[in-house]
Chains A and B, each alone.
Chain A
Amino acid sequence: MKPNAQPKKLKKKRRLPFPLVTGNKVLRWVQEGLNRIFSPSLNPMYLLGSITFFLFFILLGTGLYLYIFYEMTTTGSYESVQYVTDQKYYGGIIRSFHRYAADGMVITILLHIIQVFFSDRFRKNRWFAWITGLIMLPVLWSEGISGYFLVWDRKGQMVAERLAGLFDIFTFSANPISRNFLFNDDVSSTLFFVICFLHIAVPGIMGLMAWVHCMRVTRPIINPPTPVSWSIFGSLIILSLALPALSLAPADLSKIDTTLPIDWFYLFVFPLIHSTGLSSPEVWLSSILLLGFVGSMPWIIRDHKETKRAEPPVPTIELANCTGCLYCYDACPFEAVGIKDRSDDLPFEKEVEIISARCARCGFCVAACAYDAILMGKYSRISLDAKIKEVIVGEGEPGKAEVMVFVCENSIDVESVLSECGHRLSDRNDIAVMIIPCAGMLSRATIEAVYAQGIKGVAVIACHSLDCHFREGRRRIKEGFNLQQTDFLIESMDTKKLRVFHVSPFAISSLMRDIAIFAEEMESPETES
């Protein structure tokens, strides 16, 4: 049999909302390019959250060192920073490292936001992480700004004066904050104590917020892989040596800002306000409106009606079948399975409940349950088995399939690989195709059900490990096909007849070739014997 020649078009099962389509294509193209360089498991685009954590930890460590030598007075602040930079051990490198790690955090956070947005991972059950993440942005900004203030050089003076100008409106008609910066003698040492305290307290708040940010995520990835960490660490050290962060001249309130070197990652607002001529109220109003607009994105961007209709329901618990084994609790990647005391007379201690607001409808819990105690409409175990049978027999197709392919709808653009009826690979009547929301929702029992239909081989097409739309698809595949709790139900599974392809969305032609080869292997008499 020849591999597919010209795939016929069929409507997509899952469509992205219109505003995300182009951005998603660009994002996937970039990710794919980086996959080729790094391999998917080391691709920094999949690790932006954990790289941000890594930079945050660098900031904590270097900040602690700098704090030891910092003097919280008007005259001493500049001198103490200079002392650390010039004289104290590796102070200059550590100071530069501190600054560049802070700048790096801005880059990773912005990329993280872009990635989450265009891969449609900010809506529905993920709104909470989106909102808490956005709240952290102004907190991070204030942290960066206060760091510049503490140096109390000309740049720190610019920050202090212009920031005071922004905050003047909050004093209403009372004493403007800017009056504290009229003369050099007006600047109080207490102010440095307060700013230094904030600069130390805010990371604590940020750590707390980061914890809240990850609250609805099971097993968040905090540490990036070692090669990535070391590369970032080394690059920042080299940068610190090559281009050390230095202070400008000490602050002098009798002088005005002329031309200053700007850290565009944090201080961009001041040139922006200066060049646009926005007044303080306009700046605050536009910032609030912008944050409010971005924050309301999860509710502004909506699914197509068709996508919404096709969406699986939130799973329900069939309590009579639940043994309280908690495998579903362990399988859920979004903390959407709750545990409570048994409410019926069955002799088990616990039962579970699905927290619908957190549920991503990935079906991992359904796959993890060996007792059919979790139902999810057409993706319930029994319904799935019936659907598999229907697909294999192939109503409207010329004949029964010999190889079954499960396609994760987020992995590749499925429209290009299906036949007219949607149950076969285009031009391959022997290869049945079934599209599922995530490859992780497959269990051994489901695979066994496929084998029971006389299928000679099963291929599963899934996303790259760190790019799973439901986070832990790969983990589920690994555990789902080898899970201990199902071993007593299914004595043995022929894993030679099963192959998982973690694919790139751009590699459809090579994937089709691989599947054709796999089908040939499975259908050959040698394999059958």
Chain B
Amino acid sequence: MAKAKKLTLTGVIVIALPVLLIGYFSQKPEYGFNSPNEAELVVSFRYTSRKTHPCTDEELKRLTEERKDRPKHMRSAKQACGSRERVPVNILVEMDGKTTFDKLIHPAGFTNDGACYLFKRLIVTSGEHELKVTLSEIADTGKSAKYLYEGQPLFPTARRVVVDFNLEAMKLRLTEPPQ
């Protein structure tokens, strides 16, 4: 009933066929994610906007008075002063006079009390472009421009140019790829 367990040459070849498939499809066909004449602009930041209702001297004084009997680590009135919620920000990217990205970003957290974050890739054709990036806090009365980057950077082929917010200098900063 049972046949001898012996593999024929054809059998070995048939087993080798999927192995050939493995060899091919583990490398090929190649896939082009971007065209050869494209570059990338990444706009990214972490920015803490102002509170919706700012802290006033009267409130700070009152809170300090109220908390003076608390344990030392619970006395700080500065954090509790003003609203917890922060205002959203708007990011506007204009390239060669045209708006390429415009987004309202709300602060993180359930009560919108965190920082505003963004990571956005924008594909551009390589070469020089006029670039204007505006980061604005949204006030009750509407947009009020706060931080601006304006320039004419070079976007080299297949390279990445980054615009981010420098927390130390408190300004938008452009980083060009190394040569």
- Interface of A with B (CB < 8 Å)? 34, 37-42, 44, 99-100, 103-104, 107, 158, 168, 171-176, 178-179, 182-183, 225-228, 231-232, 234-236, 238-239, 242-243, 245, 253-265, 270-271, 274, 465, 500, 502
A253 — which chain B residues lie within 8 A by C-beta?
160
The residue of chain A having its C-beta at the shortest distance from the C-beta of B29 within the complex is: A262
A500 — which chain B residues lie within 8 A by C-beta?
1
The residue of chain A having its C-beta at the shortest distance from the C-beta of B8 within the complex is: A37
Q: Report if B164 contacts A (CB, 8 A).
A: yes
Number of A-B contacts (CB under 8 A): 159
Pick the residue among A158, A255, A258 that contacts B36 (CB under 8 A): A258
B159 — which chain A residues lie within 8 A by C-beta?
254-256
Asked whether, in the complex, the Cβ of B30 is within 8 Å of the Cβ of A107, the reply is no
Asked whether, in the complex, the Cβ of B42 is within 8 Å of the Cβ of A182, the reply is yes
Pick the residue among A44, A168, A172, A226 that contacts B15 (CB under 8 A): A44
The residue of chain A having its C-beta at the shortest distance from the C-beta of B14 within the complex is: A37
Could you list 10 A-B pairs, sorted by A, with CB under 8 Å? Answer: A173-B114, A173-B117, A174-B108, A176-B117, A231-B16, A239-B23, A255-B177, A256-B158, A265-B22, A271-B33
Asked whether, in the complex, the Cβ of B5 is within 8 Å of the Cβ of A179, the reply is no
Asked whether, in the complex, the Cβ of A231 is within 8 Å of the Cβ of B106, the reply is no
A232 — which chain B residues lie within 8 A by C-beta?
15, 19
Q: How large is the interface on B (under 10, 10 to 19, 20 to 34, 35 or more residues)?
A: 35 or more
A256 — which chain B residues lie within 8 A by C-beta?
33-34, 38-40, 158-160
Pick the residue among B21, B119, B158 that contacts A178 (CB under 8 A): B119
Q: Report if B162 contacts A (CB, 8 A).
A: yes
Pick the residue among B18, B33, B106, B119 that contacts A107 (CB under 8 A): B18
B36 — which chain A residues lie within 8 A by C-beta?
258
Asked whether, in the complex, the Cβ of A258 is within 8 Å of the Cβ of B117, the reply is no
Q: Please, what's the 1-or-0 string for B152-165, where 1 marks a CB less than 8 Å from any CB in chain A?
A: 00000011101010
Asked whether, in the complex, the Cβ of A255 is within 8 Å of the Cβ of B7, the reply is no
Pick the residue among B11, B23, B33 that contacts A42 (CB under 8 A): B11
Asked whether, in the complex, the Cβ of A258 is within 8 Å of the Cβ of B158, the reply is yes
A235 — which chain B residues lie within 8 A by C-beta?
12, 15-16, 19
Q: Report if B10 contacts A (CB, 8 A).
A: yes
C-alpha gap A226/B4 in the complex (Å): 12
Asked whether, in the complex, the Cβ of B44 is within 8 Å of the Cβ of A271, the reply is no
Asked whether, in the complex, the Cβ of B8 is within 8 Å of the Cβ of A179, the reply is no
Q: In chain B between 116 and 140, which residues have their CB closer than 8 angstroms to a CB of chain A?
A: 117-119
Asked whether, in the complex, the Cβ of B160 is within 8 Å of the Cβ of A254, the reply is yes
Pick the residue among B30, B34, B114, B117 that contacts A179 (CB under 8 A): B117
| A232-B15, A235-B15, A254-B178 as given contacts; A182 in contact with B27, CB under 8 Å | no
C-alpha gap A39/B6 in the complex (Å): 9
- Give the Cβ gap from B48 to chain A, nearest Cβ, in Å: 12
Asked whether, in the complex, the Cβ of A104 is within 8 Å of the Cβ of B18, the reply is yes
- Give the Cβ gap from A158 to chain B, nearest Cβ, in Å: 7
- Give the Cβ gap from A243 to chain B, nearest Cβ, in Å: 5
Pick the residue among B11, B23, B118 that contacts A243 (CB under 8 A): B23
**Of listed B21, B25, B33, B160, residue having the most chain A CB within 10 A:** B33
The residue of chain A having its C-beta at the shortest distance from the C-beta of B176 within the complex is: A254
C-alpha gap A254/B41 in the complex (Å): 10
Q: Report if B84 contacts A (CB, 8 A).
A: no
C-alpha gap A45/B16 in the complex (Å): 14
C-alpha gap A39/B8 in the complex (Å): 9
| A173-B117, A175-B46, A231-B15 as given contacts; A262 in contact with B30, CB under 8 Å | yes
B44 — which chain A residues lie within 8 A by C-beta?
176, 178-179, 182
Asked whether, in the complex, the Cβ of A260 is within 8 Å of the Cβ of B31, the reply is yes
| A37-B8, A44-B15, A183-B162 as given contacts; A263 in contact with B27, CB under 8 Å | yes
Q: Report if B169 contacts A (CB, 8 A).
A: no
Having A235-B19, A263-B26, A265-B22, one finds 16 other A-B pairs with CB under 8 Å, namely A38-B8, A39-B3, A99-B26, A103-B25, A107-B21, A174-B109, A176-B117, A178-B44, A179-B117, A227-B6, A228-B7, A232-B15, A258-B33, A260-B31, A262-B31, A271-B31
Asked whether, in the complex, the Cβ of B27 is within 8 Å of the Cβ of A261, the reply is yes
The residue of chain A having its C-beta at the shortest distance from the C-beta of B20 within the complex is: A239
C-alpha gap A263/B21 in the complex (Å): 11
Asked whether, in the complex, the Cβ of B15 is within 8 Å of the Cβ of A100, the reply is no
- Give the Cβ gap from A240 to chain B, nearest Cβ, in Å: 9
C-alpha gap A242/B39 in the complex (Å): 36
C-alpha gap A227/B6 in the complex (Å): 7
